[in-house]
A and B are shown apart, each in its own frame.
Chain A
Amino acid sequence: MNFLFDATREIAVAAWNSLPGAHASDPPSARIALWITFATLATVALLMSSIVILHLRNGWFERRRKRWEVRWLVQLLDPDRNGALARISPSQFMSFAELWNHIHDSMRGDVRSSLVQLSRNAGAVDLAIARLRHGNLGERISSAGFLGNHMEKSVIPTLASLASNSEPFLSLICARALVQIEPATQLPRLLPDLLGREDWPLPMVHDILASVDPDILSSHMPGELLRWAPEPPSRALRCIVFLHEDVRAALIDALFGRTPPPSPETEAALLREIHDPSQLHLVRRGLESPHWPVIVSALNRLASMGSREDVPRLQELLGHREWWVRYRAARALVMMPDMKPIEVELMATRHPDRYGREMLRYALAERNLR
Chain B
Amino acid sequence: MIHTAFSMFATVVESMFLVYFLILTSVMLLLNAVAAWSIRHYMARHPERNLNTKGTFSGFYPPISVIVPAYNEEATIATTIRSMLQLNYPAFEVIVVNDGSKDRTVDVAIAEFALQPFAEVHRNRIPTKEIRAVYRSVRHPNLRFIDKENGGKADALNAGVNASVNPLFCGIDADSILQQDSLVKCVQPFLEDRRTICTGGTIRIANGCEVDSGFLTRIGLPRSPLPLVQVVEYLRAFLFGRLGWSPMNALLIVSGAFGIFDREAVVKAGGYSTGTIGEDMELVVRLHRTMIEAKRPYRITYVPDPICWTEAPETLKVLANQRVRWQRGLAESLSRHRSLLFKRGSGAVGWLSYPYLLAFELFEPLVEVGGLLFFAASAWLGTIAWAEALLFLALVLILGLLQTVNAILLEEISYRNFRTLPQILSLVSVAFLEAFGYRQLNTWWRLKGLVLWMTKRRQTWGDMTRRASWSTPPTGT
Q: Which residue of A lies closest to B139 (CB)?
A: A369
Residues of B close to A142: CB separation below 8 A = 51
* A23 to B298 alpha-carbon distance, docked (Å): 57
Residues of B close to A44: CB separation below 8 A = 398, 401-402, 405
Contacting residue for B119 out of A36, A203, A361, CB 8 A: A361
User: How distant is B406 from chain A, measured CB to nearest CB, in Å?
Assistant: 6
With A99-B52, A137-B44, A203-B59: A55-B421 Cβ-Cβ less than 8 Å? yes
Contacting residue for A41 out of B398, B408, B412, B424, CB 8 A: B398
* A54 to B419 alpha-carbon distance, docked (Å): 12
Residues of A close to B141: CB separation below 8 A = 369-370
* A78 to B14 alpha-carbon distance, docked (Å): 75
* A361 to B297 alpha-carbon distance, docked (Å): 41
Q: Is the pair B395, A33 in contact by a Cβ cutoff of 8 Å?
A: yes
Contacting residue for A51 out of B394, B401, B412, CB 8 A: B412
Residues of A close to B386: CB separation below 8 A = 19-22
User: Which chain B residues in 353-406 approach chain A with CB under 8 Å?
Assistant: 385-388, 390-392, 394-395, 398-399, 401-402, 405-406
Q: Is the pair B119, A362 in contact by a Cβ cutoff of 8 Å?
A: yes
User: How distant is A361 from chain B, measured CB to nearest CB, in Å?
Assistant: 5
- The digit string for A105-147, where 1 denotes a CB below 8 A from any CB of B, is 1000000000000000000000000000000111001100100
* A138 to B58 alpha-carbon distance, docked (Å): 18
User: How distant is B10 from chain A, measured CB to nearest CB, in Å?
Assistant: 15
With A41-B398, A51-B408, A362-B120: A98-B52 Cβ-Cβ less than 8 Å? yes
Contacting residue for B421 out of A22, A52, A102, CB 8 A: A52
Q: Is the interface of B mostly helix, strand, loop or mixed?
A: helix
The interface size of chain A toward B, counting residues with CB under 8 Å, comes to: 53
With A41-B398, A44-B402, A365-B119: A101-B421 Cβ-Cβ less than 8 Å? no
Q: Is the pair B412, A54 in contact by a Cβ cutoff of 8 Å?
A: yes
Q: Is the pair B409, A47 in contact by a Cβ cutoff of 8 Å?
A: yes
* A312 to B53 alpha-carbon distance, docked (Å): 50
User: Which chain A residues in 305-352 approach chain B with CB under 8 Å?
Assistant: 323, 327
Q: Is the pair A369, B118 in contact by a Cβ cutoff of 8 Å?
A: yes
Q: How large is the interface on B (under 10, 10 to 19, 20 to 34, 35 or more residues)?
A: 35 or more
Q: Is the pair A40, B52 in contact by a Cβ cutoff of 8 Å?
A: no
Q: Which residue of A lies closest to B408 (CB)?
A: A51
Q: At the interface, yes or no: B413 with Cβ under 8 Å from chain A? A: yes
Q: Which residue of B lies closest to A50 (CB)?
A: B409
User: How distant is B55 from chain A, measured CB to nearest CB, in Å?
Assistant: 7
Q: Is the pair A362, B44 in contact by a Cβ cutoff of 8 Å?
A: no
* A54 to B55 alpha-carbon distance, docked (Å): 31
User: Which chain A residues in 213-243 approach chain B with CB under 8 Å?
Assistant: none
Q: At the interface, yes or no: B460 with Cβ under 8 Å from chain A? A: no
Q: Which residue of A lies closest to B427 (CB)?
A: A51
Q: At the interface, yes or no: A161 with Cβ under 8 Å from chain B? A: no
User: How distant is B414 from chain A, measured CB to nearest CB, in Å?
Assistant: 11
Q: Is the pair A43, B402 in contact by a Cβ cutoff of 8 Å?
A: yes
Residues of A close to B53: CB separation below 8 A = 101, 141, 145
User: How distant is A112 from chain B, measured CB to nearest CB, in Å?
Assistant: 14
Contacting residue for B52 out of A36, A102, A207, CB 8 A: A102
* A356 to B123 alpha-carbon distance, docked (Å): 14
Q: Is the pair B405, A51 in contact by a Cβ cutoff of 8 Å?
A: yes
* A52 to B421 alpha-carbon distance, docked (Å): 7
Q: Which residue of B lies closest to A26 (CB)?
A: B387
User: How distant is A209 from chain B, measured CB to nearest CB, in Å?
Assistant: 14
Most A CB within 10 A of own CB, among B90, B405, B406:
B405
Residues of A close to B428: CB separation below 8 A = 48, 51
Contacting residue for B424 out of A20, A51, A207, A366, CB 8 A: A51
Residues of B close to A21: CB separation below 8 A = 385-387
User: Which chain A residues in 36-82 approach chain B with CB under 8 Å?
Assistant: 36-37, 40-41, 43-44, 47-48, 50-52, 54-56, 58
Residues of B close to A202: CB separation below 8 A = 60
Q: At the interface, yes or no: B191 with Cβ under 8 Å from chain A? A: yes
Residues of B close to A43: CB separation below 8 A = 402
- The digit string for B42-68, where 1 denotes a CB below 8 A from any CB of A, is 001101101111011111100000000
Q: At the interface, yes or no: B242 with Cβ under 8 Å from chain A? A: no
Q: At the interface, yes or no: B153 with Cβ under 8 Å from chain A? A: no
Q: At the interface, yes or no: B116 with Cβ under 8 Å from chain A? A: yes
Q: Is the pair A19, B391 in contact by a Cβ cutoff of 8 Å?
A: yes
Q: Is the pair B121, A362 in contact by a Cβ cutoff of 8 Å?
A: yes
Residues of A close to B388: CB separation below 8 A = 30, 33
Residues of A close to B409: CB separation below 8 A = 47, 50-51, 54
Residues of B close to A327: CB separation below 8 A = 121
Q: At the interface, yes or no: A34 with Cβ under 8 Å from chain B? A: yes
Contacting residue for A40 out of B48, B116, B398, B408, CB 8 A: B398
User: Which chain B residues in 118-150 approach chain A with CB under 8 Å?
Assistant: 118-121, 123, 136, 138, 141
Residues of A close to B387: CB separation below 8 A = 16, 19-22, 26, 30
Q: At the interface, yes or no: A256 with Cβ under 8 Å from chain B? A: no
Most B CB within 10 A of own CB, among A16, A43, A58, A202:
A43
Residues of B close to A14: CB separation below 8 A = none
Q: Is the pair A207, B56 in contact by a Cβ cutoff of 8 Å?
A: yes
Q: Which residue of A lies closest to B48 (CB)?
A: A169
User: Which chain B residues in 295-335 approach chain A with CB under 8 Å?
Assistant: none
With A30-B388, A369-B136: A201-B395 Cβ-Cβ less than 8 Å? no
User: How distant is B12 from chain A, measured CB to nearest CB, in Å?
Assistant: 16
Q: Is the pair A204, B57 in contact by a Cβ cutoff of 8 Å?
A: yes
* A35 to B408 alpha-carbon distance, docked (Å): 25
* A30 to B118 alpha-carbon distance, docked (Å): 73
Residues of B close to A303: CB separation below 8 A = none
Q: Which residue of A lies closest to B418 (CB)?
A: A55
Most A CB within 10 A of own CB, among B119, B123, B141:
B119
Residues of A close to B395: CB separation below 8 A = 33, 36-37, 40
Q: At the interface, yes or no: B416 with Cβ under 8 Å from chain A? A: yes
Q: Which residue of B lies closest to A43 (CB)?
A: B402
Q: Which residue of B lies closest to A323 (CB)?
A: B123
* A54 to B405 alpha-carbon distance, docked (Å): 13
Q: Which residue of B lies closest to A326 (CB)?
A: B121
Contact residues of B with A, CB < 8 Å? 44-45, 47-48, 50-53, 55-60, 90, 116, 118-121, 123, 136, 138, 141, 191, 385-388, 390-392, 394-395, 398-399, 401-402, 405-406, 408-409, 412-413, 416, 421, 424, 428
Please name 6 pairs of A and B residues whose Cβ atoms are closer than 8 Å in the assembled complex, sorted by A.
A19-B386, A19-B390, A21-B387, A47-B402, A55-B421, A98-B51
11 extra interface residue pairs, beta carbon distance < 8 Å, beyond A44-B398, A204-B59: A19-B391, A20-B386, A20-B387, A33-B392, A37-B395, A47-B402, A47-B406, A51-B428, A54-B413, A169-B48, A201-B60
5 closest cross-chain pairs (CB), A and B: A138-B47, A201-B60, A22-B387, A21-B386, A19-B387
